[in-house]
């Protein structure tokens, strides 16, 4: 029997980008996530939805996408509720997209846990993926931000890396670890060293956290972005106010990847700021090199 959906969990799918790395197959009007690149018979976006629905339930998946992609996204995902499609007027990078989803969802449900999962990942071992996410949710309930990484199968220069530290003891997460640091994509010699040192994992760009914890981190590290996102969220569920608020605020939002917010979490505690702690990390999954498949997960925390 399948495990039930997680009551306090919301899956967020950032579905943006122009697909420049796969041009001309993937273009601004037809990005990678709207293609079938695996032979499954459906798009990567639909595969992502099908992978997340057992964890959250179909009514608790939100998609952040551009106005230009709205019709295609809703055609691919007929089960997505209209109020869970969050439209960007233009790309402003992942902190704005995921931060907006967090700000909207925390207003609707103050204790909600969110997970961010790219629309174009390929993960074939779905049972391992589900096990990782369920552990990550357990860790997130304790106030941590949990990243998901991948056990390297080779020395790759195409990934950023996460260095894991000691074990983290959390009920419901028997394979959780702390994170020591995040590192950018290395040169080949450094990648070889990381591959030999099994403490280094590929950064899969997924994470799970309480929405209020993520917003608190944005308030510390990007206060102007945080203020604008809260203002947008306050207007979002009012159709008459949403459009004008997006047109006024969205174009001026700072472009910054959510990875930089995660990296800031890994720094030592700031003097005089008792709220901040060092990030933590979590469970390890194996990876299939041929499919860029399997995920591993890891957490971080605000005390």
What's residue 298's pLDDT? 54
Which ranges of the chain have pLDDT less than 70? 17-30, 262-303
Token pair of 137 as six digits: 């949710």
What angle do the packed helices 258-265 and 93-108 form, to 10 degrees?
80
What's residue 260's pLDDT? 76
What's residue 39's pLDDT? 81
Token pair of 20 as six digits: 């420049």
What's residue 40's pLDDT? 82
- In the chain the domains, ranked by start, together with CATH numbers, are 9-301 (3.90.550.10)
């Amino acid at each position: 029997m399948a495990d039930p959906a997680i009551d306090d969990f919301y899956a967020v799918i950032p579905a943006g980008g122009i697909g420049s790395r796969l041009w001309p197959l993937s273009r601004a009007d037809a990005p990678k996530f709207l293609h079938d690149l695996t032979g499954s018979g459906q798009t990567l976006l639909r595969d992502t939805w099908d992978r997340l629905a057992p964890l959250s339930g179909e009514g608790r998946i939100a998609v952040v996408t551009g106005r230009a992609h709205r019709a295609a996204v809703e055609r691919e995902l007929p089960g997505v509720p209209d109020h869970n499609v969050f439209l960007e007027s233009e790309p402003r990078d992942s902190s704005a997209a995921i931060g907006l989803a967090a700000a909207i969802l925390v207003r609707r449900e103050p204790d909600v846990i969110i997970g961010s999962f790219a629309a174009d990942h390929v993960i074939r071992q779905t049972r391992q993926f589900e096990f990782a996410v369920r552990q990550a949710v357990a860790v997130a309930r304790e106030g941590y931000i949990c990243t998901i990484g991948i056990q390297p199968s080779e020395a790759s220069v195409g990934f950023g890396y996460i260095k894991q530290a000691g074990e983290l003891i959390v009920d419901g997460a028997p394979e959780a670890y702390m994170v020591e640091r995040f590192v950018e994509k290395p040169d080949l010699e450094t990648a070889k060293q990381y591959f030999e040192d099994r403490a280094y994992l590929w950064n899969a760009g997924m994470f799970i956290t309480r929405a209020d914890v993520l917003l608190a981190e944005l308030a510390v590290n990007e206060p102007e972005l945080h203020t604008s996102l809260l203002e947008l969220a306050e207007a979002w569920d009012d159709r008459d106010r949403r459009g004008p608020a997006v047109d006024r605020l969205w174009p001026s939002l700072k472009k910054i990847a959510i990875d930089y917010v995660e990296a800031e979490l890994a720094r030592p505690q700031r003097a005089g700021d008792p709220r901040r702690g060092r990030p933590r990390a979590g469970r390890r999954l194996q990876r299939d090199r041929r499919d860029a498949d399997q995920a591993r997960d890891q957490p971080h925390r605000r005390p």
